[in-house]
Structure 1
């Protein structure tokens, strides 16, 4: 029989990492299982993007936020397992659960927090014949290093937050930024769209029709009006040095679907206290859906706190409703002393 934990967190993104920290504040015995070999979740897709909207933190890159969240999560020494995918769920006696991972190991726990973010995600690839031949050179589905585009003529295809943010980030680095979107409206923050319209060469409603390569790199593209039924009308050929495609992504919850969780169009359905339809199992972050959901990293932190508090009350109905705030919490007394010591 495997060791019994109070809380097992499935997923190592912002919600899972903050939950590991906060559960430590509640003296819970915590295990976190992450399917990839690194912590951070979906943030890795945008490691070089700058985040402005985490309260009290100045603008910083996603990769820096991942580092800080990972360090915070380890404050109370939870057990962290990387590169292991949770496959099956089994109900044990007295309300506990047993999780099994793809390495054949079992993990017993009193409660579970599902924090799998957007699930198993795959970027939507460009649906043009032969596009895949350029993926190792200058056809990209994310912007990992903006400096690699310096002095180049870059075409971005897409109209969501990522496409607009990348356009704004590359303006001033690239020689020229051209944005192609199939609709006149953009699905991004109004301020970001306004800046893009002012700074970039925006073409709507247009779509990519053809890639023109020389060797293993794209040298030009053909775009055309999205509302033209015939692809040969309303076309324009544009010379480019790089193409960035941001057409969204597909997501799947894989083996979670077999657990019996109630899953809707936007994720796992939970109560206002993050409880799923299965007793002792909670959900937080991008994978959880409920009325008035806040789809920000800050919202994931709130979800995590609610979930941990709910898990604690599931284990002990007489437990306090929340952890004592850190500014007056005895758990941090020695840590605070070390912070104040001169170097």
Structure 2
């Protein structure tokens, strides 16, 4: 006899900032909530740079990313949503009553009235250095992310990349490493102007337009790197430089994969899903939040992900109940916080 699946008002796919805030906000709207994350931990794309400092979240003073992740997780658990880890959503089936069955790569099924896709850019993987034999150095001193800054103290670091993350890491490492060399295959960097200006005026060694042409090492460790000038057509020239290094960091971006979701019939761009003002997709009952959402005034910031999440939850609530209020009462007037506020007051008095 088949086991009857528990029905949820909303199932959120993705455990990054948009998904975590959606889990919190859906609790404010008294919705029975489930969150499914493909990885074995929550945090989404933020897990890639746990030690970076985050400055641009409203009302939050500069905070290390890993701490912000933890606070988002704690907030998401306020109304005790069901959280499922290590499951990648794969299949979708619409039932006669309009509800949906979502299946995962583990074979498990989830029953829901609505869906919020907070997928970021899909399952993210680092773009690897495309040089033969580079992979053998990954166990020693060829890195694709920075996890513990202290490991770079006093080292001669070469960083290849030109986007925001590459520029941010170069700035973080400047005061820790013995030297920082940045290599970018274009003349101009793609990071925020203020940070790029700081980097260009710093003591860092900047090589543009150059790219890594060869790694030199004995055993499994890189000892030096040959970089080559890149011509106007993007090809490596014979103009080269050899640089002695202790550590090489590759930051050539991330490759996203939405997986089987692309076969659901959603209107999709290459990296995102078009939505309307309620974050609704072309499939009734399916909404989007965060980097996955594409609309004309899209803001690719964590702060923007929070707004997307609230809009998507409100859209899902109105989809289920068109007579519902268009948004949740703010927390200072929301009855769902009454008992929680009492508990906080008691704790403060005890302190």
Q: Please, what TM-score do these two structures have when normalized by structure 2? A: 0.95
Give the CA deviation at 1:228. Answer: 8.1
Distance in 2 separating the partners of 1:17 and 1:155: 35
2:231·2:237 contact (CA, 8 Å) conserved in 1?
no
Greater mean alpha carbon deviation, residues 227-236 or residues 165-174: 227-236
Offset of residue 104 of structure 1? 2.0
Decide which of 288, 297, 321 is 2:326's aligned counterpart. 321
| Secondary structure in structure 1 of the residue aligned to 2:310 | helix
Is this contact kept in 1: 2:14–2:119, CA < 8 A? yes
Higher deviation after alignment, 47-56 or 95-104? 95-104
Distance 1:34 1:123 in 2: 19
- Tell me, which stretches of 5 or more residues in structure 1 are unaligned? none
The aligned counterpart of 1:290 is 295
> Are 1:266 and 1:289, in contact at CA under 8 Å, matched by a contact in 2?
no
User: Which residue is equivalent to 2:223?
Assistant: 219
Shift of 1:265: 2.5
Using the size of structure 1 for normalisation, the TM-score is 0.97
Q: Find 1:89's aligned residue among 89, 92, 105.
A: 92
Residue 2 of structure 1: CA displacement? 0.7
Alignment of 1:131-280 (within 5 A): 131-199=134-202, 200-227=204-231, 233-280=238-285
Cα deviation, 1:16-35, whole Å, max 9, x if unaligned, reads 11001000001100011111
Shift of 1:334: 2.1
Pair 1:61-2:64 in alignment: yes
Aligned Cα root-mean-square deviation (Å): 1.3
Asked if the contact 1:10–1:112 (Cα under 8 Å) also holds between the matched residues in 2, the reply is yes
Tell me if the contact between 2:145 and 2:251 (Cα under 8 Å) persists in the aligned partners: yes
Q: Is the 8 A contact 1:228 1:234 kept in 2?
A: no
* Distance in 1, Cα, partners of 2:39 & 2:238: 45
> Which secondary structure state, in structure 2, belongs to the residue aligned with residue 234 of structure 1?
strand
Question: Residues of 1 paired with 2:267 and 2:196: CA distance?
Answer: 36
SS where residue 181 of structure 2 aligns? strand
The CA deviation string for residues 296-319 of structure 1, in whole angstroms up to 9 with x for no partner, is: 000000000000000000000100
Per mean C-alpha deviation after superposition, the further-off stretch among 85-94 and 223-232 is: 223-232
Matching of residue 309 in structure 1 with residue 326 in structure 2: no
C-alpha separation in 2, matches of 1:247 and 1:231: 17
Asked if structure 2 preserves the Cα contact closer than 8 Å seen for 1:160 and 1:188, the reply is yes
Give the deviation of 1:231 after TM superposition: 5.1
